[in-house]
Amino acid sequence: MKVVLIGVGQAGGKVTQVLAEFDHEMGFDAIRGAFAVNTAKADLQSLDIDTMLIGQDRVKGHGVGGDNELGAEIMQDEATEVMDQLDARIATDAEAVMIVAGLGGGTGSGGAPALAKELNRVYDVPIYVLGILPGRNEGSLYQANAGRSLKTVIREADSALLIDNDAWRTSNETVQEGFENINKQIAQRVGLLLAAGEIVEGVGESVVDSSEIINTLRDGGIASLGYASAEAAPDASENVNTITSLARKSLLTGMSLPNAVDAEAALLVIAGQPDRISRKGVERARKWIEEETGSLQVRGGDFPLDSDRLAALVLLGGVERSQRVQEFMDRAREANQETESRDATEEFDNEQLDDLF
Ligand code: GDP
């Protein structure tokens, strides 16, 4: 899928850059543009992609310090300038725009939904948000910010693909220590998904294309992405079980939003050498995903890649009714109340969270 990425805020810019680098290193060319917008000058200076500093008259390049209402206001006030900058960067062949942001901070948390709204007014292609949720050990301000941001993101974007910062952490790292590693994992997984709908080599009936990604995300709401890979035998007939177990592993332990399997729609992509991909395995895996997610819309497709391994990517659309998402919203609501009682003068709109789902 040909996509233009716009990172908003610190995490947004960093993840946009690693995604663009991964796409370039792999030679996929699915990412047709990468741009970063921020209120903090220092965060932009460490990036190699094109950048734009906003909110200079209000925060003088120092960032909004976790104030996502200020982040939203600045994006709204400077929407015309931002849209002007984007106009030249959104390639005419782009099939989607993806805004990337950490939802727990200030600039990305407030700015991403405001930007999604603007982009949706102007462009016909789907506007997705790749949103990073704070890990459990991050403070209550992060949780509350993410809860409020998510509600607006769901309304303004065509789909919110969420990554829980706890999901792809390794060993005992704290979230802070693990950012680099998490960002690499996000880049690899999201990068593969975008490229899967793009590669045209080895075109065959079973090769996945971008319309399948778009259709899986069509109903809006929250989406998540899972991944698992394993060694594979050279002969497809020996890989029936490998493929079914990869699909299971991806859905049960590899999702970007763990334990959220009730879904409206799903897409199973098997990546690897076409000779190694067992059709019987793919069919069984799809059936299993159908049962597990309760979705009647399970799409499937191959992603021909020159590797001795096979990988399963599972994209779920419409997971907002899952228990995990409800848990997150409860956590955000609690945090919102805590933050509220700490600072009675600050006005948080709890109803916004209550009427979310
Ligand atoms: P902003 O610059 O005001 O938008 O704030 P940040 O982008 O720093 O957002 C803070 C949130 O993003 C927190 O939940 C952090 O855990 C998360 N975050 C910050 N940097 C990174 C990063 O490099 N990778 C990931 N995965 N999350 C990050």
**What ipTM was estimated for this complex?**
0.99
> pLDDT of 247-269, one tens digit each?
999 999 999 999 899 999 999 99
pLDDT number for residue 351: 43
pLDDT number for residue 333: 84
CA proximity to 130, closest of 212, 193, 219:
193
pLDDT over threshold 90, residue 21 = yes
By DSSP bridging, strand 159-164 and strand 127-133 are parallel
Tell me the C-alpha distance between 312 and 208, whole Å. 13
Banded pLDDT at 357 (limits 50, 70, 90): very low
Ligand 1 centroid from CA 326, angstroms: 22
pLDDT over threshold 90, residue 147 = yes
Ligand 1 centroid from CA 232, angstroms: 36
Range with lowest mean pLDDT among 11-15, 54-58, 351-355: 351-355
The answer to whether 51 and 13 have CB atoms below 8 angstroms apart is yes
pLDDT number for residue 122: 95
Tell me the C-alpha distance between 108 and 71, whole Å. 7
Q: Residues with beta carbon inside 6 Å of ligand 1? A: 9-12, 14-15, 63-64, 102, 104-109, 132, 134, 138, 142, 165, 175, 179, 182-183
Q: DSSP for 25-56, please give it.
A: HHT---EEEEEEEESBHHHHHT-SSEEEE--H
Ligand 1 centroid from CA 8, angstroms: 10
Tell me the C-alpha distance between 320 and 306, whole Å. 35
Residues 6+ apart with CB under 8 A from 99: 5, 6, 7, 8, 12, 112, 115, 116, 119, 127, 128, 129, 130, 157
**CA-CA distances (angstroms) from residue 1 to 193, 285, 300?**
8, 24, 15
pLDDT number for residue 288: 98
Tell me the C-alpha distance between 102 and 15, whole Å. 9
Amino acid at 261: V
Ligand 1 centroid from CA 106, angstroms: 9
Tell me the C-alpha distance between 298 and 267, whole Å. 6
Domains annotated for the chain, with CATH where assigned, are 3-198 (3.40.50.1440), 225-317 (3.30.1330.20)
Mean pLDDT computed over 202-226:
89
Q: How many residues does the chain have?
A: 357
> pLDDT of 106-138, one tens digit each?
999 999 999 999 999 999 999 999 999 998 888
> pLDDT of 284-303, one tens digit each?
999 999 999 999 999 999 99
**Beta pairing partners, 283:** none
Tell me the C-alpha distance between 225 and 263, whole Å. 12
Pocket test for ligand 1, best of 51, 58, 132, 184 (most atoms within 8 A of CB): 132
pLDDT over threshold 90, residue 316 = yes
pLDDT number for residue 255: 96
* pLDDT averaged over every residue in the chain: 91
Range of 164-178, 231-245, 315-329 with top mean pLDDT: 231-245
Phi, psi of 124 (to 5 degrees): -85, -20
The answer to whether 54 and 36 have CB atoms below 8 angstroms apart is no
Rounded to the nearest 10°, the torsion over CA 25, 19, 267, 168 is 110
> pLDDT of 28-73, one tens digit each?
999 999 999 999 999 999 999 999 999 999 999 999 999 999 999 9
Which residue has better confidence, 187 or 322? 187
Mean pLDDT computed over 208-231:
95
Mean pLDDT computed over 232-249:
97
Residue 350: Cβ within 10 Å count: 14
pLDDT number for residue 201: 57
pLDDT number for residue 144: 93
Query: Could you give the strand order of the β-sheet that contains 309-317, starting from the edge strand earlier in sequence?
Result: 50-53, 31-38, 3-8, 96-102, 127-133, 159-164, 222-231, 309-317, 265-272, 297-304
Tell me the C-alpha distance between 97 and 103, whole Å. 18
pLDDT number for residue 60: 98
Element (DSSP H or E) covering residue 7:
strand 3-8
Binding residue numbers for GTP: 10-14, 106-108, 138, 165, 183
pLDDT over threshold 80, residue 343 = no
Residue 235: Cβ within 10 Å count: 10
Binding residue numbers: 10-14, 106-108, 138, 165, 183
pLDDT number for residue 348: 41
Pocket test for ligand 1, best of 6, 8, 10, 331 (most atoms within 8 A of CB): 10
Instruction: At 161, list the tokens.
Output: 């693909």
